[in-house]
Amino acid sequence: DAKTTQPNSMESNEEEPVHLPCNHSTISGTDYIHWYRQLPSQGPEYVIHGLTSNVNNRMASLAIAEDRKSSTLILHRATLRDAAVYYCILIDGGGADGLTFGKGTHLIIQP
Amino acid sequence: GAVVSQHPSRVICKSGTSVKIECRSLDFQATTMFWYRQFPKQSLMLMATSNEGSKATYEQGVEKDKFLINHASLTLSTLTVTSAHPEDSSFYICSARDWGSQGRNSPLHFGNGTRLTVT
């Protein structure tokens, strides 16, 4: 799988939007961009995924650069429950294999 | 939504004993399940892919005789840590994909993990 680069940690205030960046300059044309998050002492949970167009769901939005070499996960109004490690993962053609997790971004939410 | 249940959530065992961890897909069938291990302050590492009705596929460096995987039905995979030692203490997490939801782009659903402590 192509590699992704994320900041080690980010801090935001409660009820403010959060933009989590991910660089994937070696992304291939068939790679999908997936985001997962892991709350403390829990298994990861799926957040969102996309290929080329921006995507929205009830949890977040995903903004994908036109050249697809970077993407941003957007939490529109962060709450304390959004404090977690966020992983940006590329999966070729959807992927049938297990995911390869990088170090992710540790998001800290200040009340 | 699809749920993956993992049991037990926490186990303490003595060195030299074996521990079995169960992973169930509650409302979908999973021909493939994945087992991960996570050490404190580190990311998840894929250990093996569990295949229903056939042998598991292990990642490089993972001992298949130590981490026995059985995937006897479409909703149950088990991981047995044999002859556990303190260095096997870790957070073990299973996952499965509900192929019916979005085909090959279906997200992975994860269990809540099992905290294993070997004394």
What pLDDT score was predicted for residue B103?
67
Q: Establish if B25 touches chain A: CB-CB under 8 angstroms.
A: no
> Does B39 score more than 60 pLDDT?
yes
Query: Which residues sit opposite A61 in a β-bridge?
Result: A56, A74
Q: What is the pLDDT of residues A77-98, one digit of tens each?
A: 999 999 999 999 998 865 667 7
Neighbouring CB atoms inside 10 A of A12's CB total: 18
Q: Establish if A42 touches chain B: CB-CB under 8 angstroms.
A: yes
What pLDDT score was predicted for residue B107?
84
Residue A51 gets the label, from left (phi > 0), alpha (psi -120 to 50) or beta, of: alpha
Q: What is the pLDDT of residues B80-112, one digit of tens each?
A: 999 999 999 999 999 998 876 666 677 889 999
Contacts of B97 in chain A (CB under 8 A): 96
> Does A105 score more than 90 pLDDT?
yes
Contacts of A96 in chain B (CB under 8 A): 32, 97, 104
Contact A85, A37 (CB under 8 A): yes
Backbone angles phi, psi at A80, to 5 degrees: -60, -30
Report the alpha-carbon distance of residue B109 to residue B33 in Å, rounded: 10
Contact A54, A64 (CB under 8 A): yes
Which of B46, B108, B111 has its CB closest to that of A46? B108
Locate the chain B residue with the closest alpha carbon to A47.
B107
What does each C-alpha distance from B64 to B29, B59, B60, B98 come to in angstroms? Answer: 25, 9, 10, 26
Locate the chain B residue with the closest alpha carbon to A105.
B43
Q: Establish if B93 touches chain A: CB-CB under 8 angstroms.
A: yes
